[in-house]
């Protein structure tokens, strides 16, 4: 179990040494990055397989809550496996002068793994900052004037978020005197007051910058339309999910009351409205997908705002669905980067890309057989199950947003398949290979829906179990998850 720290140590080590490796042998430098990612994936899978019940590991050998601890449960390890996998798919293989970009990508991989595993408030903040700085670098890596400006605005908004999150952490520390999430869970009564809630709001806003949360998402469209498509795919697909995951961990463990969840709901609904309507008005694909990802992230936040297993299940399902679909859609914009009108008749020139677009779009809308439908279904049934007027309003907003989403995505699909009136110079979207891989993942999820669903439910039950989290960290009687099902229900009552 301890070997999972390799997922952080190894990419950092290689990133530090990559300039030296490059100086001695260029070929070695080129293959090192993918090799490290493969090792990371392998190590995560091994631990994932060996894991029967959640485990907490103490870094530096200091037992929690005094030292920093990592919390290894199925959700964390699932993310730790997905991170190197997605990065391998989006790795810049063919570019020549990309040593620094590769270094930054490795650092991003290390930070992402750390964020997924960490069980300590300030440690989460540090890894989050590392992710931030790495993504500023990636956003500016294009070296266009506009990407510098976009990266700078991104940095400023992120910097504001940093200050807010730091203030929130300081407030929590003033109230409880601890940073360990599990101990915060034990002391959650001290956080159940306006001060504690405002601390959560500050952290939500601060970390929410990466999760494209409503008032702090001005950077999204700018960065995604100036950075390279790979970077956009990584930021929208991976980094935003990790930020959501960090927020959800804090929410589930330390804030076991409805007010903090309601906060998530409000920001989620605002994000849905703003994102989907902006996407509806967008005139080119990149910005359309950028805004639509704000809306999708709002839906994910909305899902996680439902307390208990139902919300966690819906949230994880939507998160994974978005994680597969959005990077694929962004890869599509690499060649189709002009206004939507110029896409007229593109289906004839590149039928595969157009077909894949239709597949992903239908799944994103939630057309029945596709995985996206089941994810949205879970969210809706979760909202209905809450049986409160606020959640019904959220449901109504979700319905309207789905209609809007369907309208603009189908508009694009129709444009793609309509007859072109001029000879367009559009070619095949260059990354259909990687995109097809995403499509295979999506379709295989469809085929294995039942086992996948029960597995995800298991994961959700485990990670929404606050008592289990606390017990794991303090290492009292680690027992298999299944026996705790009753305990979960008691805790949620």
Partner 1 sequence: MRNLTALLFSGGLAFLLMVIAWQFTLGDAPMLIGAAILDNAVKEVGAANLVTSVVLGYRGIDTLGEIAILFTAATATSMVLGSFAMTDEASETEQREDGSILGSSVRLFFPLLLTLGLYIIVHGHLTPGGGFQGGVILAGAFFLPLLAIPGRSINHGGIALVEGFSGAAFILIGLTALFSGQAFLQPLFEHGVIGHLFSAGSLPLLYIAVGLKVGAELSGLLANLAGISSHAAEAEK
Partner 2 sequence: MNPIEMNPVALQWLLYFGAMGLIVIGIAGVVLHQNIFRMVLALAIAEAGGNLLLVIAGFRFGAVAPILQDDALQTLNTSNMVDPVPQAMVLTSIVIGVGIQALALALIIRIHQRYGTLNMREVHACMMVDINKSAAVDDLLSAQQPRGRRPLPSPPESTAKRANNE
The residues binding partner 2 (CB under 8 A) are 122, 126, 129, 132-133, 136-137, 140, 143-146, 148-153, 155-156, 159-160, 162-163, 166-167, 169-171, 173-174, 177, 179, 221-222, 225-226, 278, 281-284, 286-287, 291, 337-339, 342
Contacts of 70 (CB under 8 A, 6+ apart): 4, 5, 56, 57, 59, 76, 117, 118, 119
99 is a contact residue toward partner 1 (CB under 8 A): yes
d(CA 469, CA 453): 22
Between the two ends of the chain, the Cα-to-Cα distance in Å is: 33
Segment lying near partner 1 (by CB under 8 A), choices 27-35, 62-70, 73-81, 247-255 = 62-70
Segment lying near partner 1 (by CB under 8 A), choices 98-106, 224-232, 378-386, 424-432 = 98-106
The radius of gyration of the chain from alpha carbons, rounded to an integer in Å, stands at: 22
68 is a contact residue toward partner 1 (CB under 8 A): yes
Which of residues 223 and 459 has its CB atom nearest to partner 1 in the complex? 223
Segment lying near partner 1 (by CB under 8 A), choices 189-197, 369-377, 407-415, 443-451 = 189-197
Q: How far is the CB of 52 from partner 2 (least distance, A)?
A: 33
**How many CB atoms are closer than 10 A to CB 42?**
13
d(CA 127, CA 133): 10
Q: Are 324 and 298 in contact (CB under 8 A)?
A: no
The angle that helices 449-463 and 74-89 make with each other, rounded to 10 degrees, is 120
Q: How far is the CB of 148 from partner 2 (least distance, A)?
A: 4
Binding partner selected for residue 339 from partner 2, partner 1, none, CB under the kind-specific 5 to 8 Å limit? partner 2
Which of residues 5 and 45 has its CB atom nearest to partner 1 in the complex? 5
194 is a contact residue toward partner 1 (CB under 8 A): yes
Which of residues 284 and 462 has its CB atom nearest to partner 2 in the complex? 284
d(CA 101, CA 29): 12
Binding partner selected for residue 149 from partner 2, partner 1, none, CB under the kind-specific 5 to 8 Å limit? partner 2
Structure tokens at 279: 């996407």
Binding partner selected for residue 68 from partner 1, partner 2, none, CB under the kind-specific 5 to 8 Å limit? partner 1
d(CA 280, CA 410): 11
19 is a contact residue toward partner 1 (CB under 8 A): yes
Whether omega for the bond prior to residue 65 falls within 30 degrees of 0, making it cis, is: yes
């Amino acid at each position: 179990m301890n070997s999972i720290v390799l997922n952080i140590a190894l990419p950092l080590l290689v990133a530090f040494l990559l300039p030296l490796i490059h100086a001695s042998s260029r070929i070695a430098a080129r293959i090192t990055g993918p090799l490290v990612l493969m090792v990371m994936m392998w190590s995560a899978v091994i631990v994932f397989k060996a894991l029967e019940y959640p485990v907490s590991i103490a870094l530096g050998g200091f037992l929690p809550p005094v030292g920093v601890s990592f919390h290894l449960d199925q959700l964390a390890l699932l993310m730790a496996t997905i991170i190197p996998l997605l990065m391998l798919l989006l790795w810049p293989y063919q570019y020549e002068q990309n040593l620094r970009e590769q270094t930054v990508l490795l650092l991003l991989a290390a930070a992402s793994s750390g964020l997924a595993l960490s069980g300590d408030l300030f440690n989460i903040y540090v890894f989050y900052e590392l992710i931030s700085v790495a993504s500023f670098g990636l956003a500016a890596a294009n070296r266009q004037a506009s990407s510098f400006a976009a990266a700078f605005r991104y940095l400023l908004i992120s910097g504001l978020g940093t200050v807010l999150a730091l203030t929130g952490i300081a407030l929590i520390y003033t109230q409880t005197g601890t940073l360990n999430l599990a101990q915060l869970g034990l002391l959650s009564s001290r956080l159940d007051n306006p001060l504690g809630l405002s601390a959560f709001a500050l952290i939500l806003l601060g970390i929410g910058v990466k999760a494209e949360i409503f008032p702090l998402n001005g950077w999204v469209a700018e960065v995604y339309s100036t950075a390279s498509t790979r970077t956009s795919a990584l930021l929208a697909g991976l980094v935003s999910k990790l930020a959501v995951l960090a927020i959800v961990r804090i929410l589930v463990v330390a804030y076991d009351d409805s007010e903090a969840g309601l906060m998530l709901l409000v920001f989620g609904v605002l994000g849905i409205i703003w994102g989907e309507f902006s996407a509806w008005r967008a005139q080119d694909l990149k910005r359309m997908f950028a805004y639509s990802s704000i809306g999708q992230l709002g839906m994910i936040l909305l899902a996680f705002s439902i307390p208990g297993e139902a919300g966690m299940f819906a949230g994880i399902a939507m998160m994974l669905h978005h994680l597969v679909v959005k990077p694929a859609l962004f890869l599509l914009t690499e060649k189709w980067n002009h206004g939507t009108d110029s896409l007229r008749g593109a289906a004839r020139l590149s039928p595969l890309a157009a077909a894949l677009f239709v597949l992903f779009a239908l799944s994103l809308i939630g057309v029945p057989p596709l995985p996206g439908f089941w994810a949205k279904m879970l969210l809706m049934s979760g909202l209905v199950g809450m049986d409160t007027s606020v959640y019904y309003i959220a449901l109504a907003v979700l319905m309207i947003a789905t209609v809007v989403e369907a309208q603009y995505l189908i508009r694009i699909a129709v444009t793609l398949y309509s007859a072109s009136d001029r000879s367009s110079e559009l070619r095949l979207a260059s990354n259909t290979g990687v995109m097809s891989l995403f499509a295979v993942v999506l379709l295989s999820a469809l085929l294995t829906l039942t086992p996948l669903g029960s597995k995800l439910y298991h994961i959700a039950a485990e990670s929404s179990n606050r008592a289990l989290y606390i017990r794991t960290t303090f290492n009292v009687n680690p027992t298999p998850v299944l026996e705790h099902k009753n305990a979960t229900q008691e805790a949620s009552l």
